């Protein structure tokens, strides 16, 4: 068990955790395991050991390893959505500002999660069930961008194909920044320019 996981496990044994608190603990330990050893090392048994709980506790929360991966993706998406929503709400009412907050928030959130997020996404793609969950959140993000950018687009709005292309670019740029193939600033700037060009093309 890693030192950090031991600390989380020790803290959790000092008092009885609520179900939500236990879930938060298990998700935090899962992210640490992925960061240290990769997604392949993440099993429900290993998670129970690292978190200092019995296997039935972990199975009660996630059911299966796929259930755990879905929960991790949902955990990431909740944070990403909150970050983007807050940035959009406080941004200035101009296309440049909206494009900038979408690009910056998306890249920042993926980089904050670190190298473990691409591992989870790769694991999600390995199962039709999990890929469907990822697709659900992709649709939600595209719809959000469509709403935010609609006032600046042409009368017919932004084509769905363009929005999917933008999302693909966002993922590729985020992964390149995580791998240090490009800088964080380059990733943000390029995604912003892609969004601006997409909106201008719709007019």
Q: Are residues 172 and 195 in the same domain?
A: yes
Is residue 108 domain-shared with residue 169, that is, in the same domain?
Answer: yes
∠71-77-82 over CA atoms, to 5°? 130
DSSP string spanning 141-164?
HHHHHHHHHGGGS-TT---HHHHH
Average pLDDT score over residue span 165-186: 95
CA 29-35-40 angle, to 5 degrees, is 90
Do 108 and 193 sit in the same domain of this protein? yes
Write out the two tokens for 83: 């970050």
Q: Mean pLDDT, the chain, as a whole number?
A: 89
Does the global pTM surpass 0.85? no
Instruction: Indicate whether 53 and 84 sit together in one domain.
Output: no
Which residue do the tokens 């084509």 mark? 159
How large is the average pLDDT for residues 53-66? 95
Q: Do 92 and 185 fall into the same domain?
A: yes
Verify that 56 and 88 share a domain, yes or no: no
Residues 42 and 86 in one domain: no
Q: Which distant-in-sequence residues (6+ apart) come within 8 Å of 31 by Cβ? A: 72, 113, 116
Please count the structural domains in the chain: 2
Give the length of the chain.
Answer: 203
Q: Are residues 57 and 88 in the same domain?
A: no
Give yes or no: residues 30 and 121 share one domain: no
Q: Is the pLDDT of residue 7 over 60?
A: no
Same-domain check for residues 30 and 130: no
- Can you give the CATH number for the domain in which 33 is found? 1.10.10
CATH number at residue 85: 1.10.357.10
Whether residue 57 sits in one domain with residue 30: yes
pLDDT of residue 117: 79
pLDDT (0 to 100) of residue 14: 46
pLDDT at 30 exceeding the cut of 60: yes
Verify that 93 and 180 share a domain, yes or no: yes
């Amino acid at each position: 068990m890693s030192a950090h996981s031991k600390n989380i496990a020790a803290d959790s044994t000092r008092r009885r955790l609520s179900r939500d608190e236990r879930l938060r603990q298990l998700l935090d330990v899962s992210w640490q395991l992925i960061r240290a050893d990769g997604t392949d090392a993440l099993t429900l048994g290993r998670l129970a050991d690292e978190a200092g709980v019995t296997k039935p506790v972990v199975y009660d929360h996630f059911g299966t390893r796929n259930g755990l991966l879905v929960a991790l993706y949902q955990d990431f998406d909740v944070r990403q959505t909150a970050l983007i929503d807050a940035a959009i709400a406080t941004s200035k009412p101009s296309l440049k500002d909206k494009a900038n907050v979408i690009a910056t928030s998306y890249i920042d959130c993926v980089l904050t999660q670190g190298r473990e997020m691409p591992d989870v996404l790769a694991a999600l793609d390995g199962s039709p069930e999990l890929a469907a969950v990822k697709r659900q959140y992709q649709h939600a993000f595209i719809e959000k961008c469509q709403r935010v950018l609609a006032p600046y687009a042409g009368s017919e709005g932004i084509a769905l194909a363009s929005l999917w292309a933008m999302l693909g670019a966002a993922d590729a740029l985020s992964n390149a920044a995580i791998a240090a193939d490009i800088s964080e600033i380059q990733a943000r700037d390029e995604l912003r320019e892609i969004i601006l060009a997409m909106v201008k093309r719709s007019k």
